[in-house]
Amino acid sequence: MKTLSTNGMIAILSAILLFLPSCKVAEKALRKGDYDKTIDLTVSKLHRNQNKSKQVLLLEEAFAKVNKRDLDRIAFLNKEGQPERHQQILDIYYRISKRQNKISPLLPLYIEEPSRQAKFEMINTNEAIVATKKKAAEFLYVKGKKLLAQGDKHDARRAFDLLTELRKMYPSFRDVDTQIHNARVKGTTHVRVKSKNSTGTILPSEIDQNLKRLDLSSLNQQWLSFYTNPGNNAFDYELVINLKRIEVSPEHLTERLYKAEKEIKDGWEYAKTEDGRVMVDSLGKKVKQDLYRMIFADVVEVSQTKQGRLHATIDIINTASRQIVKSYPVSSNADFSNIFATFHGNPQALDCDTEELTKRRFSPFPSSEQLAIQASQGLKASVLDVVVDNKRILLD
């Protein structure tokens, strides 16, 4: 009688150990009613080896139970007779079809004890899917049009979702593209961004032009569109940049006087001892030493400053009620600053920073209007922040 080698025994034991855990997992899933998990586990094993009766029995039981459960659910939903159930029924048929397609390539399967062919009662889902799909599509179309007719933006957005789902089923179903377009238009909140002068003074036209150059493209999203050019659009909200007042400081010119000084090398001389004799090194050569002297320059540093501040509120207005929904105070600064210097004396006494200032000159002060225009640029960031913070309000 031949005995198995050590390697042979290890191979057999490994196979048994691999089989037992997966079998137990599949049995546990079956007991819990997780039939599809049982099917996935057993199908995976049977693809590698179909001569596993235990796996076949688990698969047979799980398949029978899960299909019965799904078919009972379909019968119940059909009995309810509610059109909105067609999509749910369709999903169940797809699930059954997917499940059967997993098992079909393995058939036929056999069980050793008792010796028989495993039973898998396959259902022809194709006709049921086609018929149910048509009913589901009809429901989605009717429901979508009904929601559109109600005129509410939220209903229009819901209609858009339903009609988009319909188009996935039947891309050319009736006038589905037209209805989706209508749903998109009706469901979108349109917001006009504009400026308003409440300062009591005439402002430069450049301020309004600056505010109209807002880059709102990054804020546009599904169901929310912004405009600075009104065109022929009807708007749900206005976002008004309400300019309240402009503050401009006087022109300030201040001077700072200081003396620049520096020690520089200025020739050499022989080094001498305390008694006045010339010093020599170890080789008998006379020792030289550098001479230094201080140089000076009188510096006048001139600083020019002028500030402007633009105060505003950003008002979100419901165009239907003409009520201000939200109002945010904002402001933006524009600062003018110029520093230059003049000097009298030795230019070598200047440090690098002062030397640079002497290359600069007096600059004409900007007008109040110019500062206001510059400050209006800063309001753009505030507008964008308000929009981001209030998207939820605009979409409601």
* 3-class DSSP assignment, residue 300: strand
Average pLDDT over residues 153-181: 95
Rounded-to-integer distance, Cα 329 and Cα 315, Å: 9
Provide the 3-class DSSP secondary structure of residue 262: strand
Rounded CA gap, 12 and 298, in Å? Answer: 101
**Tens-digit pLDDT profile for residues 68-124:** 999 999 999 999 888 889 999 999 999 999 999 999 999 999 998 888 999 999 999
Tell me what the mean pLDDT of segment 223-248 comes to.
88
Question: Average pLDDT, stretch 359-387?
Answer: 91
Q: What is the DSSP letter of 364?
A: P
- Amino acid 220: pLDDT: 87
The dihedrals phi and psi of 194, each to the nearest 5 degrees, come to -145, 165
| Residue pLDDT, tens place only, 289-344 | 889 899 999 999 999 999 999 999 999 999 999 999 999 999 999 999 999 999 99
Is the pLDDT at 36 greater than 50? The verdict is: yes
pLDDT at 9 over 80: no
Total-model pTM: 0.66
Q: Which two tokens stand for residue 379?
A: 């309001």
Task: State the Cα–Cα distance between residues 389 and 286, nearest whole angstrom.
Answer: 82
Please determine, for residue 249, whether its predicted confidence score (pLDDT) is greater than 50.
yes
Those residues with Cβ within 8 angstroms of residue 163's Cβ, 6 or more apart along the chain or in another chain:
140, 141, 144, 176, 179, 180, 183
Other C-beta atoms within 10 Å of 67: how many?
19
CB atoms closer than 10 angstroms to residue 172:
8
- Provide DSSP, 63-102: HHHHHHHHHHHHHHHHHHT-GGGHHHHHHHHHHHHHHHHH
Q: d(Cα 226, Cα 238) in Å, to the nearest integer? A: 9
Q: pLDDT of 92-104, one tens digit each?
A: 999 999 999 999 9
For residue 218, the model assigns a pLDDT of: 78
d(CA 240, CA 238): 6
Contacts (Cβ under 8 Å, ≥6 apart) of 56: 42, 46, 50, 109, 110, 111, 118
Length of the chain as a residue count:
396
* Eight-class DSSP state of 331: E
Query: Peptide bond preceding 108: is omega within 30 degrees of 0, i.e. cis?
Result: yes
Mean pLDDT across 26-39: 92
From CA 251, how far away is CA 336, in angstroms rounded?
Answer: 10
Q: Residue 352 corresponds to which tokens in the numbers above?
A: 């690098």
**Full 3-state SS string of 173-204:** CCCHHHHHHHHHHHHCEEEEEEEEECCCCCCC
Q: Which residues contact 306 (CB under 8 A, 6 or more apart)?
A: 248, 249, 250, 251, 252, 335, 336, 365, 366, 371
**Is residue 22 very low, low, confident or very high in pLDDT (cuts 50, 70, 90)?**
low
Q: What angle do CA 389, 323, 327 make, to 5 degrees?
A: 35
For 165, residues 6+ apart whose C-beta sits below 8 A from its C-beta are: 87, 140
Structure tokens at 26: 């599949």
Contact 133, 88 (CB under 8 A): no
Please answer whether residues 314 and 240 qualify as being in contact, where contact means their C-beta atoms are separated by less than 8 angstroms.
yes
Q: Which residue has the tokens 């940049």?
A: 241
Give pLDDT tens digits for 170-191: 999 999 999 999 999 999 999 9
Across the range 256-272, mean pLDDT stands at: 91
Q: Helices (DSSP H) in 228-358: which residue ranges? A: 352-358
d(CA 341, CA 343): 7
Domain ranges of the chain: 23-123, 139-187, 248-264+294-395
Amino acid (one-letter) located at 339: I
The span from the CA of 70 to the CA of 67, in Å, is 5
Asked whether residue 16 carries a pLDDT value surpassing 90, the answer given is no
